[in-house]
Copies of this chain bind each other. A is one copy, B any other.
Amino acid sequence: MDIDSYLTGYADGEGCFCVSFNRSRRHRFGWEIRPSFSISQNGDRAEVLRLFHTRFGCGAIRPDRSDRTVKYETRCINDLVERVIPHFEQHPLLSGKREDFQRFARICRMMYARDHLRPEGFQVIVRLAAQVNGGKRKYPRETIKL
């Protein structure tokens, strides 16, 4: 049994690569860009979330206020780029979610390189994020601009 391959399989079904945008005065161009990798689960399968937490060595497990589930989530851009993304490059997703992941990885690496602080970088990220399925659309893409 290879635990890393197991985690990739689990994430291919249940994981979410998401990029959300929030209105923010404190952020460049008035928008906070928030990438996250998360997995939600009924409490009775929380042990798998602990496996992700331990294996990735980052993120947090929290009860989800909106329903009776527990969520593992990593939002920290350094952890995403240095820990989460390399895992899924070494142990690749096998479903169509792989394409979401690739766009997600590109966005995270641009932010890691602080490209999102330049207008061109910001615009590329907005375009890519619109193609990442997991992202809940609080704001339609057209409303997010410089």
Q: Residues of A at under 8 Å CB distance from B?
A: 1-14, 44-45, 47-48, 51, 90-92, 94-97
Partner of A9, one of B10, B90, B96: B10
* B contact residues around A5 at 8 Å (CB): 1-6, 9
- Verify A12–B10 contact, CB threshold 8 A: yes
Q: How many copies does the complex hold?
A: 2
A12's nearest neighbour on chain B, judged by CB, is: B10
A contact face: mostly helix, strand, loop, or mixed = helix
Partner of A94, one of B4, B51, B95: B51
Interchain nearest-CB distance for A34 vs B (Å):
24
A45's nearest neighbour on chain B, judged by CB, is: B95
- Verify A47–B10 contact, CB threshold 8 A: no
Interchain nearest-CB distance for A70 vs B (Å):
12
A99's nearest neighbour on chain B, judged by CB, is: B44
CA of A96 to CA of B13, assembled, Å? 17
Q: Given contacts A9-B6, A12-B10, is CB(A44)–CB(B96) below 8 Å?
A: yes
Given A2-B2, A5-B5, 20 further pairs, Cβ under 8 A: A1-B2, A1-B92, A2-B5, A3-B5, A4-B5, A5-B6, A6-B9, A6-B91, A6-B94, A7-B9, A9-B10, A9-B11, A9-B12, A10-B10, A10-B13, A12-B45, A45-B95, A45-B97, A47-B95, A48-B95
